[in-house]
Structure 1
Amino acid sequence: MPRSIPQFRSSSRGEGDFTDPENPPTTRTAPPSPSAYRRAQSYLSEPHTGYQSLEAQLDATETTSLLGRRPSITEDDLHGRQASIPPSTKDALTASSFLDERTWYDQFTSTDWVHDSIADGARLRQLRQRKDIRGRLLAWVDGAQGWVLVAIIGCITAAIAYFVDVTEESLFDMKWGYCANNLFTGRGECDPDHWRTWSQIFGSSAKLQRPVEFFMFVAWSIALAAIACALTLLTKTVVPSSIHLSTLDENLGADSRNTNSRHDPGSAGTGSPSSDLSPHGSFPNKPSRPAMIYYSAAGSGVAEVKVINSGFVLHGYLGLKTLVIKTVALVFSVSSGLSLGKEGPYVHIATCVGNIACRLFAKYNQNDGKRREVLSASAASGVAVAFGAPIGGVLFSLEEVSYYFPPKTLFRTFFCCIAATLSLKFLNPYGTGKVVLFEVRYLSDWEFFEIFIFILLGVMGGALGALFIKASSLWARSFRRIPIIKKSPMFEVFLVALVTGLISFWNRYTMLPVTELLFELTSPCKSESKTGTGLCPHEDNILEIIRYLLVAFVIKSFLTVVTFGIKVPAGIYVPSMVVGGLMGRIVGHVVQYWAAKNPTMFLFNSCDISGMESCVTPGVYALVAAGSTMCGVTRLSVTLAVILFELTGSLDHVLPFSVAILCAKWTADAIEPRSIYDFLTDMNAYPFLDNKLQPISDAELGDIVRPSRKKRIIDISGSPFVPASELRSKLEDLLMAGELDSGLPILRDGVLTGLIPAPDLEFALDSLGEDEDHTICLMSMDSSIAIYDSENEDLLQDDFTRYIDPSPIALDAHSPIDLVYQCFAKLGLRYLCVLQNGQYIGLVHKKSFVKYMKDNE
């Protein structure tokens, strides 16, 4: 049959065929399709956190031309492209492939770092083309936006931290009574004449005074925790099972995943090492999974912030609703007296502030790669206000939560932390001039013999932190598997609050707030402060204090394990430091007692005989052990050493802190290789690819790629036009496999000529509206072969080439796994094409590669 270039025609919905070639229609109304509705619902009415194009967003009801506000392709377009593309394709490819009309990334997909970087480069080139005064001014304003943005983030984060610090202190004291002249004043700031205890309010006799105080203490603990849980449950997010990697474990391990799925005989490619690489395998033969559920205000949020900064998309997790609810719920959860902290949630809250503030400037709002630079600075400001440590905040962002940290981001992050810390110091939440409550100062230096004790404390703290992770995992996989606990998060919070109130009331250390207890444990003693009953005892009372501390250590260790993972905002930093601080204080008092009983021993020859504190400072031991335990839990190293230095301001003790943290990290890695963040990431099945690891597999890329299937490719060997209905079928195949952020390679005679990302294809097909079933789409960048059978001339024809990536990154099948890892981790790819002898053989998705790496650890 003779083939010729057809006469291209376009038809608007409801207008029928258009036959006037001189006046083609220039507009088409794109009604919302089911896919568009599904995409909108995935946002749960939250402002999105993903990518926006550099062009204006296409509204579903807007009357506009298809694909870039231009008419459908015509014969003149083909001849024009024939003449214009060959001389210089660089600008054309940039415009068509990277300045597209995608509005955002879908839920549970990965960002395209390469796309965002090239798009930002195109924006900068356009900005710098102007050489006049106005152009220079615009360039200066563009450069200043980042500094203004991080300053705003720092100030707002400090204001939120001030609100939480002041409010939770007043609410916590209400467990003991209230201030008669000001209900919102804490016990420390209230005039003693106006403070009313609950036993006084109820007119209890001396015999009933203690039972009344105990009952009110427990009742307030339960009530405050229940309010925090009720607020947290408002952030429940349901994600359809068709778009996530695997069922999220909303109860930290209480999941129902089939761990033997790799050996399922119904899976495609059984016996092949790649048979299980697709998140759902051969999904038509698999039973449907339940919807995934997560609560964006629960926990600390640090692990999720880390995953988001790596390029993963969690819609609503950094939205305004989460910010408001988590801030208010955090006040109630901390004031309830549960064994949790507010420092971790500060990181999440600050990141929410950063995400929302990005909407002030289009440069960050419309580019997800640039947005994540701001999120890194925001997370750092959260640590800065939590510990009063701006340098520690910068190192925390660099060491823990940031995936991509260019040099310019380092300085802006430092500026953001300084702004946050200065603002909080001016606000003065505690009325003492301190940014945090547990800031301490040591006046005496350490003795040489103590270095061995510091090493011992580092080993003990690292082991304690690693055992905490194992205990949390065991608790999650046992207690939280109980049906009533799994179905009712509120009931679990009630039980934990009840147990906390019942056993914390009777010990003077466990009844204190965690921050106040940490301050007491790490504070040095003064000779005039020795009362014989507190943490600065006389020689005869040391053993009694050790017994009290041992009981408090056991109680706090148990409560920290059972509290971690409940559905309230909760951090693990300070609770782990408190447990370690109790252990360190016990060791410090033991050494102190030893020195008091053996003053003439050679180890203590340099000690001043004026008092025990001049030789051994138990507060130093407590802080060393506290930092070591936190290192064992989080695996932070340099960050922790700097934070402890900033808390104490003592250069003399930097060396003991550093030595203990080194020993703690080595010990913890030997017992439990995963940090608490790795544990949460694994339990929640987030596709996080750690860029700090080194793969040791001897496999090749061809060993893990699945054979190419017809539904996963677009073959233009016979014709450059593909029916839209066929493209929709291929797209649905990707969606059902949980690969919304994958793509469809375009082949001609087995050779890879391009790739169209699934989000772009979905956007383009949705724009067709009701004409989708009657449309064929041009999928070839080479206009010289844009011909089609004359029998299909009556179909609507549209140009999809602007959505095609003409140069997808591809590797040979014999490439080592280490090279594949570097491409995914360093380039931020979402998928990688695989070639063999120049012929396309398959595609490896990032989620599939992450799953392969985890299965082979």
Structure 2
Amino acid sequence: MSSESARHPAPQYEEEQYELSEDGRLLQPKLRYSTSYKDGASIDWLQEEMVERDHQQALKSQAGVRGILSPVFDAARGWLVVILTGMGVGIAGAWLDVLVKWLGDLREGRCSYGFFYNQVACCSGIDPGEICYEWKSWSTYFGFHSIFGSSLLQSFVYVALAIAFAASAAVLVVAYAPYAFHTGKIKAILGGYVLDAFLSPWTLLIKALGLALAVASGLSLGKEVHSSMFFTHSTTQSQHAQGPLTNEASKRRILAAAAAAGVSVAFGSPLGGVLFGLEELDTFSNESEVMWKGFVASAIAAVALQWVNPFGTAKLVLFQVTYVDNTWRARNSLIGDWPILEVVCMSAVTAAVSYLVVFARAQSSELVANLFQECDPSKGDYHGLCNPTASGQNIFLLVLTAAMKFVLTAWTFGMMVPAGIFLPTIAIGACLGRAVGLITQSVYRLYPTAWVFLSCPPDPSVRCISPGFYAVIGAAGMLGGVTRMTISLVVILFELTGALSHVLPIMIAVMTAKWVGDAHGTDGIYAAWIAMRRYPWLPPVDFKDTRVATGENIMKSVDRLVKIEDGAVAVGELG
């Protein structure tokens, strides 16, 4: 007890002081919250809730108009933070998407009339399938005409820029912000763990730059970040912060709402963001309050994202559908002592291997968008994906891409670069799902009258099997198995794709994936990461006791109670 107390001394709480008028009436209290926690400690939830209740009672007990207006103004501070957070994360997330897209396209070429235009902006106004002459590959830009010379230059620039981007991201994280390399701490922070350094402005800046570089390098990782929580944390750390902005329990309710806004921006899924905050992140807070604040923050963030329009479609959806034994070894391996070298080597391997497989060469967001898309002559053919004569080749390449991304993601997730798990997991599932869809489509063309296809028209030329739909189902199953998310995942995916009619099959895929995953362990990727990093976090436990008991059976009599005052005795003195 003594050593633990020395490491994490109990926080000191100052009592509230009030001003009294000459006739003894209670005036505006001087509310001071001196609760202070160091990084690595856990907040006292009961104490924080009591402090908040006392604070609200003190505001309401004031005489006259102050007793009415003070609680309103106090609550307005929290809502103002929620609104500003939604606006800030929507705009910041949109520009991060633009930066990632530009850096990723830079590996393959540049726009002839503007260096800072990505390929979509450079080729705007051109119909799908039409050649864009304004976008120049590096071999064309430097005047290489031979096939060998062009291929050699393109592959060299592709791999070299990938290594440069990944190495830069690793240097930024290792040298300037070690807390910026992962997002798994958010769940522990919302559970009461104190880690202010993770939410600092400097960490956010390094994480945003590092994430853009890491994603653009082609590493198998996603781009969900904690920038939304930074906006909230910065406001609550202000010297002018009062009321709910200084109470640690209230602060975490607002942080949970901010995290929901982050998911809303990362995937264009406002409702899914709210459900994600309830299902995956927040554990101890009032669910109705978190849901309402998260809904407001997510809606505002989505509006800000659509206003900036980073996807160039004036739509919110990202991908539109138109029809733990080895953790110790990894943590203690020799390469773990050289994190920058690990990132450089991994980026070189990823770029070299990905360049050889056409589907792995593209960024994950572009790959998923095309896998979810149905074949339409007016929209072009993505690397022959819609060519019926190349179905066997496409199936092989899709399975190979999924296997490559599976291995690369397993290694990349946890390196010293900012990383998310959603997008690469969706890409793996989409590749496998599209492959299954192509197999089913090929079987239908060979045996259109088989009993399995009785609901389809007998003419094989009429579309019946939708490979893009299979890709969505595969993505849902893969992500559900990795994260163990259920309701929020279904909502995120149908908002992500705009495929409302596909909700029931998505639900079945997620349910099946969770059953299979739970058979091998109930922890999702976030809980596993928290356990590996040894962060203090209490998972939700379903306690059910069907025994009938009276108050006498549960409570203890007064003569059996022992009163122990804080700091009065040590463990050895209890005898």
Q: TM-score, normalised by structure 2?
A: 0.86
| Structure 1 residues 221 and 127: alpha-carbon distance in aligned structure 2, compared to 1, 3 A threshold | same
2:122 maps to what in 1? Answer: 190
Residues 360 and 401 in structure 2, CA contact (< 8 A), matched pair in contact too: yes
| Structure 1 residues 398 and 203: alpha-carbon distance in aligned structure 2, compared to 1, 3 A threshold | same
The CA deviation string for residues 723-770 of structure 1, in whole angstroms up to 9 with x for no partner, is xxxxxxxxxxxxxxxxxxxxxxxxxxx9525225xxxxxxxxxxxxxx
Residues 199 and 209 in structure 1, CA contact (< 8 A), matched pair in contact too: yes
1:739 maps to what in 2? Answer: none
Larger radius of gyration: 1
RMSD: 3.0
Cα distance in 2 for residues equivalent to 1:165 and 1:54: 46
Letter of the 1:313 partner, please give it.
Answer: V
Shift of 1:435: 2.7
Shift of 1:52: 9.3
Cα distance in 2 for residues equivalent to 1:183 and 1:532: 25
Secondary structure at 1:659's aligned position in 2?
Answer: helix
How many residues are aligned here?
532
In the alignment, is residue 573 of structure 1 matched against residue 454 of structure 2?
A: no
Letter of the 1:226 partner, please give it.
Answer: A
The CA deviation string for residues 675-702 of structure 1, in whole angstroms up to 9 with x for no partner, is 1112111111112111235599xxxxxx
Residues 78 and 245 in structure 2, CA contact (< 8 A), matched pair in contact too: no
Shift of 1:478: 4.1
Shift of 1:522: 1.2
Residues 321 and 372 in structure 2, CA contact (< 8 A), matched pair in contact too: no
1:413 maps to what in 2? Answer: 294
Cα distance in 2 for residues equivalent to 1:427 and 1:568: 27
What does residue range 260-271 of structure 1 map to in structure 2 within 5 Å? none
What does residue range 457-606 of structure 1 map to in structure 2 within 5 Å? 474=326, 476-478=327-329, 481-483=332-334, 485-526=335-376, 534-538=384-388, 540-606=389-455
Match of 1:754 among 532, 554, 565: 565
What does residue range 107-122 of structure 1 map to in structure 2 within 5 Å? 107-122=39-54
Shift of 1:101: 6.8
| Structure 1 residues 478 and 753: alpha-carbon distance in aligned structure 2, compared to 1, 3 A threshold | closer
Residues 317 and 498 in structure 2, CA contact (< 8 A), matched pair in contact too: no
Cα distance in 2 for residues equivalent to 1:532 and 1:230: 35
Match of 1:308 among 189, 195, 203: 189
Residues 368 and 430 in structure 2, CA contact (< 8 A), matched pair in contact too: yes
Letter of the 1:522 partner, please give it.
Answer: F
Shift of 1:496: 0.5
| Structure 1 residues 55 and 149: alpha-carbon distance in aligned structure 2, compared to 1, 3 A threshold | farther
Cα distance in 1 for residues equivalent to 2:271 and 2:397: 36
2:262 maps to what in 1? Answer: 382
Letter of the 1:566 partner, please give it.
Answer: M
Shift of 1:570: 0.6
1:167 maps to what in 2? Answer: 99
The CA deviation string for residues 821-854 of structure 1, in whole angstroms up to 9 with x for no partner, is xxxxxxxxxxxx99xxxx9959xxxxxxxxxxxx
| Structure 1 residues 543 and 612: alpha-carbon distance in aligned structure 2, compared to 1, 3 A threshold | farther
Greater RCO, CA 8 A, separation 6+ = 1
Letter of the 1:198 partner, please give it.
Answer: W
Residues 473 and 505 in structure 2, CA contact (< 8 A), matched pair in contact too: yes
Secondary structure at 2:448's aligned position in 1?
Answer: coil
Cα distance in 1 for residues equivalent to 2:111 and 2:11: 50
Cα distance in 1 for residues equivalent to 2:12 and 2:242: 9
Letter of the 2:153 partner, please give it.
Answer: V
1:358 maps to what in 2? Answer: 236
Secondary structure at 2:566's aligned position in 1?
Answer: strand
Letter of the 1:368 partner, please give it.
Answer: E
Secondary structure at 1:614's aligned position in 2?
Answer: coil
In the alignment, is residue 667 of structure 1 matched against residue 507 of structure 2?
A: no
| Structure 1 residues 600 and 336: alpha-carbon distance in aligned structure 2, compared to 1, 3 A threshold | same
Residues 427 and 475 in structure 2, CA contact (< 8 A), matched pair in contact too: yes
Shift of 1:179: 2.1
Residues 235 and 296 in structure 1, CA contact (< 8 A), matched pair in contact too: no
What does residue range 100-499 of structure 1 map to in structure 2 within 5 Å? 102-190=34-122, 192-206=132-146, 207-236=148-177, 295-299=178-182, 301=183, 303-343=184-224, 345=225, 348-359=226-237, 361-406=241-286, 407-438=288-319, 440-443=320-323, 474=326, 476-478=327-329, 481-483=332-334, 485-499=335-349
Cα distance in 1 for residues equivalent to 2:203 and 2:11: 20
Secondary structure at 1:208's aligned position in 2?
Answer: helix
Cα distance in 1 for residues equivalent to 2:456 and 2:372: 21
Letter of the 2:471 partner, please give it.
Answer: A
- Is the deviation greater in 674-683 or in 570-579? 674-683
Unaligned 5+ runs, structure 1:
1-37, 43-49, 57-67, 69-94, 237-294, 444-469, 697-749, 757-778, 781-832, 843-857
Unaligned 5+ runs, structure 2:
1-5, 18-28, 124-131, 546-560
| Structure 1 residues 513 and 532: alpha-carbon distance in aligned structure 2, compared to 1, 3 A threshold | closer
- The structure in which a higher percent of residues are helix is 2
1:620 maps to what in 2? Answer: 469
Residues 608 and 615 in structure 1, CA contact (< 8 A), matched pair in contact too: yes
Cα distance in 1 for residues equivalent to 2:441 and 2:456: 11
Residues 51 and 366 in structure 1, CA contact (< 8 A), matched pair in contact too: no
| Structure 1 residues 694 and 431: alpha-carbon distance in aligned structure 2, compared to 1, 3 A threshold | same
| Structure 1 residues 531 and 166: alpha-carbon distance in aligned structure 2, compared to 1, 3 A threshold | closer
Secondary structure at 2:565's aligned position in 1?
Answer: strand
Cα distance in 1 for residues equivalent to 2:526 and 2:347: 25
Cα distance in 2 for residues equivalent to 1:162 and 1:386: 9
Residues 223 and 419 in structure 2, CA contact (< 8 A), matched pair in contact too: yes
Cα distance in 1 for residues equivalent to 2:379 and 2:562: 81
Letter of the 1:114 partner, please give it.
Answer: L
| Structure 1 residues 196 and 523: alpha-carbon distance in aligned structure 2, compared to 1, 3 A threshold | closer
The CA deviation string for residues 527-560 of structure 1, in whole angstroms up to 9 with x for no partner, is 555759622222x321121122122122212211
Letter of the 1:754 partner, please give it.
Answer: E
Cα distance in 2 for residues equivalent to 1:401 and 1:613: 46
Shift of 1:133: 2.5
Residues 170 and 186 in structure 1, CA contact (< 8 A), matched pair in contact too: yes
- The structure in which a higher percent of residues are strand is 1
Residues 269 and 495 in structure 2, CA contact (< 8 A), matched pair in contact too: yes
| Structure 1 residues 608 and 482: alpha-carbon distance in aligned structure 2, compared to 1, 3 A threshold | same
| Structure 1 residues 517 and 134: alpha-carbon distance in aligned structure 2, compared to 1, 3 A threshold | same
Secondary structure at 2:110's aligned position in 1?
Answer: strand
Shift of 1:507: 1.4
Cα distance in 2 for residues equivalent to 1:320 and 1:652: 42
Shift of 1:113: 1.0
Letter of the 2:236 partner, please give it.
Answer: C
Residues 444 and 460 in structure 2, CA contact (< 8 A), matched pair in contact too: no
Cα distance in 2 for residues equivalent to 1:651 and 1:204: 48
The CA deviation string for residues 286-344 of structure 1, in whole angstroms up to 9 with x for no partner, is xxxxxxxxx21002x1x21111111111230111111111111111111111111102x
The CA deviation string for residues 96-138 of structure 1, in whole angstroms up to 9 with x for no partner, is xxx8874511221110111111111111111112242243222
Letter of the 1:324 partner, please give it.
Answer: L
